[in-house]
Amino acid sequence: MAAIRLRDLFAVVMLFGIYSFVSASLFVVLDAVDVAFTEASVGAGVSTVFMLGALALTTSKEKPKSARKTLLPLLAVTITGLALVYGTWDIPAYGDPANPIHHHVVQRFIEDSPREIGIPNIVTSVLASYRGYDTLGETTVVFTAAIGVLLLIGGARRPSSGRDNAG
Amino acid sequence: MQILGHFNYWIFIILMMCGFYMVIASDNLIKKLVGLGIFQTSVFILYISMGKITGGTAPIVIDKAVVYSNPLPHVLILTAIVVGVATTSLGLALVVRIQEAYGTIEADEILAQDRDDSL
């Protein structure tokens, strides 16, 4: 990712949008069509719009900085990366049907969900029915975040623009 | 064969480290948030690639299919994407407020201003 070296924040945000879209097409290749839909619309679309909005409200140029400060982070990143690569030696290989991840509750989801829920899309029935409380929690998080954004930005607008409590 | 079997994990590690580097090395707060987003998406790729079965199809029930890829990671990551966007937008709102309060979104300048204020 060349986005690290760019100083122009507009280009960084645009590259991030492209990256999200590429990862969405990667999800299609990996059979996760529902995730690809969400990533393309929410990840590549909505979050890019949010970031552009934040750029419009702040500034789109990054200040240059000295090269001295990049050495320590680079070292930390390299060490962490090597440790993670070392950790992959024990992980089961990609695409193997015998992997432990495929042998727990999933078998039951695949076999019984069309009969129990009546929807051919297994992802939907797991999301909305078997793990419905997760989705409820997700909605709570999104609601809380929306309240937070409104309090942070919406509250600040009023004194700076000089309006009274009209709205 | 054994080496190529871990290819997906290495892609994930490279992307994750790019995001990590961006978070800790750049002073600009928006760039930090973009780095956090890259980090996040790399974790999504890890989960989804673990759910893939060679020769499997998308987990939608059809008559001809024999093997379905694992639907459980897909569900978890669907939730994670939406939560990720919610937290990112909250972070961006904080950045906008910081810009209003300090006039800058560079972390070192903000720290310098704080130090001047406390003296």
Q: Quick check: B48 contacting A, CB < 8 Å? A: yes
- Among A64, A99, A114, the domain boundary falls at A64
> Pick from B16, B81, B89: which is nearest to A38 by CB?
B81
Residue in this structure with the two tokens 């987990």, named with its chain if needed: B59
Percent of chain B topping pLDDT 70: 87
Helices (H) and strands (E) in chain B, counts: 4, 0
Q: Is A93 part of any domain?
A: no
Q: Quick check: A96 pLDDT over 60?
A: yes
Q: Is A156 part of any domain?
A: yes
Domains in chain B with CATH codes: 4-118 (1.10.287.3510)
Looking at every residue in chain A, the average pLDDT score rounds to 73
Q: Is A138 part of any domain?
A: yes
Q: Quick check: B18 contacting A, CB < 8 Å? A: yes
* CA gap B36, A47 in Å, rounded: 12
Q: Is A91 part of any domain?
A: no
Q: Is A55 part of any domain?
A: yes
A166 DSSP 8-state letter: -
B39-53: buried (b, 16+ CB within 10 Å) or exposed (e) per residue?
bbbbbbbbbbbbbbb
Provide the domain count of chain A: 2
Q: Which of B20, B13, B80 has the alpha carbon at shortest distance from A91? A: B13
Q: Quick check: B82 contacting A, CB < 8 Å? A: yes
Tell me, what's the pLDDT at A122? Answer: 73
- Among A64, A96, A114, the domain boundary falls at A64
Taking residue B3's Cβ as centre, other Cβ atoms within 10 Å add up to 8
Lowest mean pLDDT among A58-67, A107-116, A141-150, B107-116: A58-67
The answer to whether the Cβ–Cβ distance between B68 and A153 falls below 8 Å is no
* CA gap B53, A107 in Å, rounded: 13
Mean pLDDT, residues B101-107 taken together: 79
Domain containing A140: what range?
122-167
0.90 cut: is pTM over it?
Answer: no
